[in-house]
Structure 1
């Protein structure tokens, strides 16, 4: 019985491979399970049927593309950790205060360039709150800007080989199929044409097809996500005698000055020119990463204590805790909270959902579900865990910026790009060396480096590489090519490019882009060889179509990010994305036909 089943599978494995592929495609579309799970189940099916051997399965782990992609994730994570992207955002916000529209143009240019050399997902993550603030400065709805942010990041990512994981993946599959290796700027001419066409179309589409709600509606809901804190100016610090408006950390986008407290007087306006004195208190609202970074500033003492100013900085632990509704101090001032006087700890800040406590840190009256950030010696912090009136006491997952390491992280990325661009070193090897450099120089800690890798992406890639190998081994690819060849025998090369782009582009809108890249690339290479045409234009068409996902929020990661942040409807992406697909697709196919 089993032997007969094996014989039947062997005789019809090409057809069986297509059936498995069809079921996987259905799984991708229905989304009952994550794409990674569907890909793994497909791999298991091929293993169970004997179409894919164990040796074949493990051979996919020697593919350099996933390793290179993981290394680029870590390099992008180092730029986030060192505050490089944050510093760029700060400059944009500073410019926006004087020239909002010019700052908007500069921001989109910056996103485009950054996405060409970094993974565009973290770029969009960083820029979403910045875009919301710009929307407020321009009097626009954030919905008019967030979707263009994603689209520009996608266009930037298609400009170089390392701009997206899809580009690297297609290049690796092409290399495995015997094509010459792609250089880091091989696709740049086509990418620039597509970028210019896409941005030009976006100027019209953003005005005509994007929702126009009340200005700053979304931004207001995001405005109060930070912590209220305060810093005391130390006597021997460099800030004494300096105007408030010239304090460096107050110029950062995610730090807002609430007021200046001198003695018992709290001033909220007209303080930019006020000269700081020792003992002055600056009341701030700032994001958690900035709050933690300020602890390293020796010119200020941050937070609130009950007279315990002798806490050793190097022995401190930091935890977050939520005030329980049963807390006996609800409604009282923060300075009166019991554990502050009972323990040698310092409250660094307090946060409240969609509101800012106040008027300052000691006089903020606590409410249920407020979050407090507390630091102190380990033995003191340990006692907080037993407090029944504090929920979720635990170490904060946020880290302070390591801004002094930013030149090292930038240099590592530039070195990787230059080594690959001048063919001095393979891009994967250069990226791994770059990762080693940023780890040893402490631009990013090892645990953060591994956390910056999107495991879902890598697992999906490995699983789909195994599926692609199974389809090739089973003869499914040859079967498809055999059926298509007579139909396409007399089709001119430029029409083949268009057909490839359309098929890959439509598939990308409904299933994950990396899956499309792995499945379609070997198919078009085999088809091109059978037809006797150059496979490179078709491979490049797959590379661009698999990334240029505009019409749905599920086709590309950055679309999904802004879909949630901007509270868009699915139809919003259809209205704006379909014209983008048509314009970018036409420009890309024309550029491939003329330039490749």
Structure 2
């Protein structure tokens, strides 16, 4: 084994920055957007302070910003908006309705059909709306048939990841690998160019997810058992000697640290309802209608020197608080909600929807933060909120953008624009598949038509975009370009070949895919893919073998995000909805990774080497 000589200082700096970037991408306590922006800023700063030239060509720091206008990012954003339009218009509702009917006939066959449909749809649409569609359907089936939902949800979620591997637009990872390889002079893959090896592996994966995975998943209870404290309604009677007489609503709310929300004020002599505006003054004899936890209501009673009543009686041992006709709902926060990074207080969640948040679940378990601090916890995509409210309030939540109700009975939305939205998606795919327009152009035109036909509005379009995806794509492209131009990628490729010098080309290809599979379950799959693509091309050139299978090894390896919940955002959605543990993903995901790794290694070697 011959160890290659050390590269130039800039290349070494890029390798160090890459290691640091991958570490920060993995950190849960630092937003991915912040880490991505830091990478871009550091790269630009390094090449500004320490200029780099290669064969007389100066690397402009501003060139590292080109990722924000890269065709891969434009395509990713366009497809995210189109996928969101399918959800908003209910274009997928007929599929969900018919699948729900099929489950009544044959659960075993229905699971297979569900996996096939979910995988097929994910080949053309971002898999988040697909998971959003299927979660309520499968939970509803489990409720109706009185069976456990665990054997259904995790296989369905992983099937969408498997399906996304089969086309160039199936995932943002695919688009990035294809675009980076094209930027480096390799021919551009067509829409279905790598579908044959992907479909062979997908067929084996679907059989595993259908017949084996459900049998090795332990029984899990839903993520939000019905055990949280409830909200009760009551009336605070304002006494003559009360400290809040003459104060405004805003002033008395301040006395309760702004925790107390007044629904309305009943005022003498006829106890008419008065709207509790901030400057409304409180009078003796007023009755404040409030809802909260019992201990908080008693606290309000003490702070305001008021008397807590039910509808007719003073609250005491003989006349306790009564829970009103309230319903519970499980709310999954998805990307388009606009809540990511905000606290419930900052988002005015209670004021907007009128419901009370009883619990917050993250990574499959309740966050033990205490009720007082719940409103101050930054919300993340994939979080599950247990809320309580009346039927009308829950219905408002069902119609809200970016909030998924997992109650097993929520009606899927459907509008007259649904066929048009579906037709636009099909047209975008066909035009690109036939080579009439690049996918970046066709997807952008599709978004324009969706807006022009009012299938969606600009609020819908902006909410569909993910700042995490945009920044991680831009940062990954900048890092990949810097590594390639400084020779860092070439050095990593030389080291990889040196370490695997005893292996034939097929073995090196297989080892590269396995390396990416491990990396993608630990850090961002987009970052792994963009960093791995130039390395793959360098390895192929050093071995003097075809480049295509090595690029595909990176593409497939970076998509094997099956073994950890944090490997892909839909894994978190499934984990929270099904009450899975981290070990469940490893139990099901690791055998699936091995199956697909072995299959794809053999197929790529057979077809290309």
For normalisation by structure 2, the TM-score amounts to 0.67
Deviations 1:73-92 (A, max 9, x none): 11111111111223321221
What's the CA shift for 1:94? 2.3
Counterparts in 2 of 1:468 and 1:148: CA distance versus 1, 3 Å = same
CA contact (8 A) 2:119 2:164 kept: yes
Looking at structure 2, the residues matched to 367 and 415 of structure 1 have their Cα atoms a distance apart, in angstroms, of 41
CA contact (8 A) 1:221 1:354 kept: no
Looking at structure 2, the residues matched to 440 and 420 of structure 1 have their Cα atoms a distance apart, in angstroms, of 21
Please say which of residues 471-480 and 149-158 is displaced more in the overlay: 471-480
Looking at structure 2, the residues matched to 124 and 148 of structure 1 have their Cα atoms a distance apart, in angstroms, of 11
CA contact (8 A) 1:60 1:465 kept: yes
Looking at structure 2, the residues matched to 397 and 166 of structure 1 have their Cα atoms a distance apart, in angstroms, of 26
Deviations 1:385-427 (A, max 9, x none): xxxxxxx99x965799452111111111111111111111111
Find the counterpart in structure 2 of residue 359 from structure 1.
none
Find the counterpart in structure 2 of residue 295 from structure 1.
none
Looking at structure 2, the residues matched to 498 and 351 of structure 1 have their Cα atoms a distance apart, in angstroms, of 56
Looking at structure 2, the residues matched to 575 and 96 of structure 1 have their Cα atoms a distance apart, in angstroms, of 26
What's the CA shift for 1:104? 2.7
* Residues 326-337 of structure 1: pairs in structure 2 closer than 5 A: none
Counterparts in 2 of 1:485 and 1:409: CA distance versus 1, 3 Å = same
Counterparts in 2 of 1:211 and 1:58: CA distance versus 1, 3 Å = same
What's the CA shift for 1:204? 4.3
Find the counterpart in structure 2 of residue 515 from structure 1.
527
SS of alignment partner, residue 521 of structure 2: helix
What's the CA shift for 1:374? 7.4
Please say which of residues 434-443 and 477-486 is displaced more in the overlay: 477-486
CA contact (8 A) 2:114 2:156 kept: no
SS of alignment partner, residue 514 of structure 2: helix
Counterparts in 2 of 1:486 and 1:373: CA distance versus 1, 3 Å = closer
* 1:106 matched to 2:103: no
Find the counterpart in structure 2 of residue 252 from structure 1.
none
Find the counterpart in structure 2 of residue 288 from structure 1.
none
Please say which of residues 445-454 and 169-178 is displaced more in the overlay: 445-454
CA contact (8 A) 2:115 2:206 kept: no
* 1:24 matched to 2:28: no
CA RMSD of aligned residues (A): 3.3
* 1:125 matched to 2:122: no
* 1:424 matched to 2:436: yes
Find the counterpart in structure 2 of residue 352 from structure 1.
327
For normalisation by structure 1, the TM-score amounts to 0.68
Q: 1:506 aligns with which of 502, 515, 518?
A: 518
CA contact (8 A) 1:97 1:137 kept: no
CA contact (8 A) 2:150 2:219 kept: yes
Counterparts in 2 of 1:329 and 1:401: CA distance versus 1, 3 Å = farther
What's the CA shift for 1:186? 0.9
Find the counterpart in structure 1 of residue 151 from structure 2.
144
Find the counterpart in structure 1 of residue 389 from structure 2.
371
CA contact (8 A) 1:161 1:185 kept: yes
Counterparts in 2 of 1:508 and 1:413: CA distance versus 1, 3 Å = same
Counterparts in 2 of 1:212 and 1:75: CA distance versus 1, 3 Å = same
Looking at structure 1, the residues matched to 600 and 581 of structure 2 have their Cα atoms a distance apart, in angstroms, of 28
* Residues 191-270 of structure 1: pairs in structure 2 closer than 5 A: 191-213=198-220
What's the CA shift for 1:498? 0.3
Please say which of residues 473-482 and 556-565 is displaced more in the overlay: 473-482
* Residues 41-80 of structure 1: pairs in structure 2 closer than 5 A: 41-50=38-47, 53-80=60-87
What's the CA shift for 1:445? 1.4
Looking at structure 2, the residues matched to 23 and 218 of structure 1 have their Cα atoms a distance apart, in angstroms, of 34
What's the CA shift for 1:218? 5.7
What's the CA shift for 1:465? 0.8
CA contact (8 A) 2:562 2:585 kept: yes
Counterparts in 2 of 1:21 and 1:397: CA distance versus 1, 3 Å = closer
CA contact (8 A) 2:151 2:215 kept: no
Q: 1:553 aligns with which of 534, 554, 565?
A: 565
* 1:497 matched to 2:464: no
What's the CA shift for 1:151? 0.9
Find the counterpart in structure 2 of residue 564 from structure 1.
576
Please say which of residues 190-199 and 101-110 is displaced more in the overlay: 101-110
Looking at structure 2, the residues matched to 196 and 402 of structure 1 have their Cα atoms a distance apart, in angstroms, of 32
Counterparts in 2 of 1:93 and 1:180: CA distance versus 1, 3 Å = same
Counterparts in 2 of 1:585 and 1:16: CA distance versus 1, 3 Å = same
Looking at structure 2, the residues matched to 182 and 562 of structure 1 have their Cα atoms a distance apart, in angstroms, of 32
Number of aligned residues = 445
CA contact (8 A) 1:550 1:578 kept: yes
Find the counterpart in structure 2 of residue 439 from structure 1.
451
Gaps of 5+ in 1: 1-9, 223-321, 334-349, 356-365, 376-391
Looking at structure 2, the residues matched to 587 and 486 of structure 1 have their Cα atoms a distance apart, in angstroms, of 25
Looking at structure 2, the residues matched to 30 and 595 of structure 1 have their Cα atoms a distance apart, in angstroms, of 39
Looking at structure 1, the residues matched to 197 and 69 of structure 2 have their Cα atoms a distance apart, in angstroms, of 30
CA contact (8 A) 2:520 2:559 kept: yes
Please say which of residues 104-113 and 120-129 is displaced more in the overlay: 104-113
Looking at structure 2, the residues matched to 352 and 465 of structure 1 have their Cα atoms a distance apart, in angstroms, of 47
